Amino acid sequence: MNESKDFLRTIVEEDLASGKFQEVHTRFPPEPNGFPHIGHAKSIVINFGIARDYHGRCNLRMDDTNPITEDTRYVEALKDAVHWLGFEWDDGIRHTSDYFPRLYDYAVQLIKMGKAYVDSLNEEEIREYRGTVTEPGRRSKYAQRSVEENLDLFERMKNGEFKEGEHVLRAKIDMGAANMQLRDPLLYRIRHVHHHRTGDTWSIYPMYDFAHCLSDYIEGITHSFCTLEFENNRAIYDWVLDTLELEPPRPYQYEFARLAITYTVMSKRKLLELVNEGKVNGWDDPRMPTIAGYRRRGYTKESILNFCDQIGIAKANSTVDVAQLEFAIRDDLNTKVPRVMCVLDPLKVTIENYEGSEEIDASYYPHDVPKEASRKLPFSKEIYIERDDFDENPPKGYFRLTPEQPVRLKHAYIITCKEVVKDADGNVVEIKAEYHPDSKSGQDTSGIKVKSAIHWVDAKGAKKAEVRLYDRLFKEEAPKGMEDLNPDSLKVIEHALVEPAVITERPDERFQFERQGYFYADPVDYSDEHPVFNKIVALKDSWSKKRKAPEKAPKPQPKKVQIDGEVAPMNEAEQARFDKYTDELKLGTEVANTLARDEKLSHFYEEALSVLQSPVSLANIVANEVARELKEKEIDALKFTPKQIAGLVKMVEEGTISSKIAKQVFEEMTVSGKDPEKIVEEKGLVQISDPAQILPIIEEVMAKNPDNVAKFKAGNTKLLGFFVGQVLKSTGGKANPKVVNELVAKKLK
């Protein structure tokens, strides 16, 4: 259960403590008139999550009261979304149409009580009679009909004797109510439409306000969570239940803020328009904000769940920056996916002094990811690099290959440009280079200093792939419609080149293409003969550069490294720090740049280094977590000290806590300023490394997943990650990942 209670959970706890309800029973009641989107994901997480947290139940109910727009494929999409997010509904799927006979009987009961009547005004007259926010409405003359006449007309409406719009059933409440929802709301309307479940049985269909509260009551729902646009409808919800004097217990409605995201539309009407007008390639187009679209793009369920958890549950509407959702997927994939190399715009490089070929052993993961796996990179005299990784006339601050500047090939050697080959139009078509045999990564004794490492693929070993570069579907922060579509939301590269292991070994379905972004093997179009990869998200938010400069200059922030020629050249002091960090402390280029360019950040790092001689680990946390805090605060306002950061890193290195727990401890340090040792002690976060404690958890996970155990033993070794993840989840991230990996692998043999 979440440690910090939102207002909905507070309500639930109070109701349980007071004895108002013995069990929590929620529901997720979507209309099956479109594919569920990210807003539905939030509702799913709230309804199913609260039921789970309080050991209750949650129903999945299709609100199928408008047969004009409904379709069984939408029902399947909704079921699939709930399952994919990891939830189970209680005792089969419900449909509002299951209750049509009972709803009709309740309507008859209201008529008999004199609380409902058949109105014969047309739609325009009903609107006119309703009044305004400053003027009361007028009741229809048809409200004077007798109970007998209303019962007769209502039954004939049900039997299909009237045209659509000829009559409606309305509640008789108060035409002068300040809440206009109470001005004799419609309860039923005539629809001569085939229903996908009830066929042609019914010619009348209940309105949402009538059907929803009664469906909740019939199902025994205790807490009916709705978005804020239904706040005024709560009065009708209560009126129907109270007027019918139904036997308790009865449900209660509570409202929360709906999800709105920048650069995104979530109106079903607009999403349907995008699909029907061919602006996108269906509901599962990776640019769509549908759950199916996010899945096909490569988002993980964990990233969606984490995003919903991070934005919380609010009482007031607001708009979430889409960058927060993009951060959630980056954060999730960063510690999961293998790093590989893919060249999108190939430029041939011939290494003239290299003969033969070799295989270079390269890890799939950086040192700070607790996974161990590697692949063989073929290397020969002909390779391809990214076209923009060479510049004949480089701007200042350009760190990649130039006629005068050598560069390192990632995992391989340093190369130097010797000749630039051009075609008749002056376009560069080939680079002739030489390599330095004593500069191999991990064994470099060349003494050559380079400021960048670039990705590459071997000409013979590389595999061709189609790469789909997806970007935001809309170019405006608050899009209004089709006129705001981003014309560059999809770019297809048909002849990208990837290293062979991506295709031949398939270590995963998601990858970080070095320096390009995160990518996913398209689940529909991919085949080993024609590999297709979708771009999930870039490695950093590039859209922030496109926004207009604010009127007031923002507070200076530490600059992140950008090895793409966009940063200013270093001054003398910065260069000296950079040289020290790369040469003496062996820091990576990106981290060294981040620290070297910010004097205060560099000072913080060196203070921490004076406490703990662990330059790489300290540099990573300072250049990322500490730098992130400095975006919002001055360094003097930080709650934590360099000494405390050193203490946190020491605990990770000694195995006291895991890297995942360290992030949790750091977040607490930013708020409380407590020593990390104290936080770990108070919260009981010490890492579990004792096999005797971990093995029973592994056995329990395996017992719960016999099908996956069988699949693993049948050859699906990718499931190792599934079991490791389940064990880590069961321990709240406390288990030592390395120990878990080893024990799970042994257990599954």
> Residue 421: which pLDDT band, with cuts at 50, 70 and 90?
very high
> Looking at the predicted structure, is the pLDDT value of residue 722 above 80?
no
Pairing of strands 319-320, 490-498: unpaired
User: Is residue 227 part of an annotated ligand binding site?
Assistant: yes
Segment 150-165 shows an average pLDDT of 97
Q: Which residues pair with 256 in a beta bridge?
A: 227
pTM of structure: 0.73
Segment 709-724 shows an average pLDDT of 77
Q: Are 296 and 284 in contact (CB under 8 A)?
A: yes
**Nearest residue to 164 (alpha-carbon basis) of 201, 203, 127, 191:** 191
> Looking at the predicted structure, is the pLDDT value of residue 559 above 90?
no
Query: What does the pLDDT look like over 292-301, one tens digit per residue?
Result: 999 999 999 9
User: Is residue 266 part of an annotated ligand binding site?
Assistant: yes
> Looking at the predicted structure, is the pLDDT value of residue 405 above 70?
yes
- Residue 662 pLDDT: 84
Distances in Å between the alpha carbon of 246 and those of 210, 213, 426?
14, 12, 84
CA angle 710, 722, 78 (to 5 degrees): 95
Segment 603-614 shows an average pLDDT of 91
How far is Cα 623 from Cα 605, in angstroms, rounded to an integer? Answer: 9
Structural Rg of the chain based on CA atoms = 31
Classify residue 176 by its DSSP letter: T
Active-site choice (79, 156, 250, 258)? 258
Helix 691-704 vs helix 719-730: crossing angle, to nearest 10: 120
User: Is residue 37 part of an annotated ligand binding site?
Assistant: yes
Give the burial class of 388: count Cβ atoms within 10 A of its Cβ; 0-12 exposed, 13-18 middle, 19 or more buried: middle
Where b means 16+ CB within 10 Å and e means fewer, 617-650 reads: bbbbbbbebbbebbeeeeeeebebbbebbbbbbb
Could you report how far apart the first and last alpha carbons of the chain are, in Å?
A: 34
User: Is residue 490 part of an annotated ligand binding site?
Assistant: no
> Looking at the predicted structure, is the pLDDT value of residue 1 above 60?
no
> Residue 542: which pLDDT band, with cuts at 50, 70 and 90?
low
Active-site choice (31, 477, 509, 590)? 31
Pairing of strands 57-62, 94-95: parallel
- Residue 560 pLDDT: 36
Q: Say what the alpha-carbon torsion angle 674, 675, 681, 685 is, to the nearest 10 degrees.
A: 90
Q: Are 88 and 47 in contact (CB under 8 A)?
A: no
**Nearest residue to 515 (alpha-carbon basis) of 582, 587, 560, 563:** 563
Query: What does the pLDDT look like over 310-360, one tens digit per residue?
Result: 999 998 888 999 999 999 999 999 989 999 999 999 999 999 999 999 999
User: Is residue 352 part of an annotated ligand binding site?
Assistant: no
Give the burial class of 68: count Cβ atoms within 10 A of its Cβ; 0-12 exposed, 13-18 middle, 19 or more buried: exposed
How far is Cα 39 from Cα 271, in angstroms, rounded to an integer? Answer: 13
User: Is residue 31 part of an annotated ligand binding site?
Assistant: yes
691-747 CATH pick, 1.10.10.410, 1.10.3210.10, 1.10.510.10, 1.20.1250.20: 1.10.10.410
Q: Which of 104-113, 193-202, 425-434, 735-744 has the lowest mean pLDDT?
A: 735-744
Contacts of 544 (CB under 8 A, 6+ apart): 323
DSSP code string of 177-242: -SSGGGSS-EEEEE----BTTTBTS-SEEE-HHHHHHHHHHHHT-SEEEEEGGGTTTHHHHHHHHH
Q: Which of 9-23, 168-182, 428-442, 634-648 has the lowest mean pLDDT?
A: 634-648
Helix 322-334 vs helix 301-311: crossing angle, to nearest 10: 130
> Residue 584: which pLDDT band, with cuts at 50, 70 and 90?
confident
> Looking at the predicted structure, is the pLDDT value of residue 181 above 60?
yes
How far is Cα 445 from Cα 443, in angstroms, rounded to an integer? Answer: 6
Active-site choice (268, 432, 660, 711)? 268
User: CB neighbours (10 Å) of residue 20?
Assistant: 12
Amino acid at site 696: P
Q: Are 378 and 357 in contact (CB under 8 A)?
A: yes
Residue 409 structure tokens: 């090939």
Query: What does the pLDDT look like over 684-714, one tens digit per residue?
Result: 888 787 888 888 899 888 888 888 888 888 7
Segment 471-480 shows an average pLDDT of 94
User: Is residue 29 part of an annotated ligand binding site?
Assistant: no
> Residue 472: which pLDDT band, with cuts at 50, 70 and 90?
very high
31 included as an active-site residue: yes
- Residue 691 pLDDT: 87
More confident residue, 163 or 712: 163
Phi–psi pair at 440, nearest 5 degrees: -60, 140
Classify residue 73 by its DSSP letter: H
pLDDT, mean over the chain = 90
Give the burial class of 446: count Cβ atoms within 10 A of its Cβ; 0-12 exposed, 13-18 middle, 19 or more buried: middle
User: Is residue 482 part of an annotated ligand binding site?
Assistant: no
Distances in Å between the alpha carbon of 341 and those of 324, 357, 622?
27, 18, 27
> Residue 567: which pLDDT band, with cuts at 50, 70 and 90?
very low
User: Is residue 716 part of an annotated ligand binding site?
Assistant: no
**pLDDT more than 90, % of the chain:** 70
Q: Which of 100-104, 236-240, 268-272, 709-713 has the lowest mean pLDDT?
A: 709-713
In which residue ranges of the chain is CATH 2.40.240.10 found? 339-543
Give the burial class of 82: count Cβ atoms within 10 A of its Cβ; 0-12 exposed, 13-18 middle, 19 or more buried: buried
User: Is residue 41 part of an annotated ligand binding site?
Assistant: yes
> Looking at the predicted structure, is the pLDDT value of residue 477 above 60?
yes
> Looking at the predicted structure, is the pLDDT value of residue 571 above 90?
no
> Looking at the predicted structure, is the pLDDT value of residue 21 above 60?
yes
- Residue 738 pLDDT: 75
Query: What does the pLDDT look like over 80-94, one tens digit per residue?
Result: 999 999 999 998 999
Domain 339-543: CATH superfamily is Ribosomal Protein L25; Chain P (2.40.240.10)
- Residue 718 pLDDT: 63
- Residue 318 pLDDT: 84
> Residue 566: which pLDDT band, with cuts at 50, 70 and 90?
very low
Q: Are 360 and 411 in contact (CB under 8 A)?
A: yes
Query: What does the pLDDT look like over 39-94, one tens digit per residue?
Result: 999 999 999 999 999 999 999 999 999 998 888 899 999 999 999 999 999 989 99
Query: What does the pLDDT look like over 622-677, one tens digit per residue?
Result: 888 888 787 667 777 888 999 999 999 998 888 788 777 888 888 888 888 899 99
> Looking at the predicted structure, is the pLDDT value of residue 574 above 80?
yes
Distances in Å between the alpha carbon of 536 and those of 277, 511, 516, 662?
24, 10, 11, 27
Phi–psi pair at 563, nearest 5 degrees: -85, 55
User: Is residue 267 part of an annotated ligand binding site?
Assistant: yes
> Looking at the predicted structure, is the pLDDT value of residue 4 above 50?
yes
Q: Which position has the token pair 């979530």?
A: 266
Distances in Å between the alpha carbon of 124 and those of 121, 150, 203?
8, 22, 22
Q: Are 574 and 566 in contact (CB under 8 A)?
A: no
Which spans in 474-524 are helix H? 501-504
User: Is residue 594 part of an annotated ligand binding site?
Assistant: no
User: Is residue 554 part of an annotated ligand binding site?
Assistant: no
In which residue ranges of the chain is CATH 1.10.10.410 found? 691-747
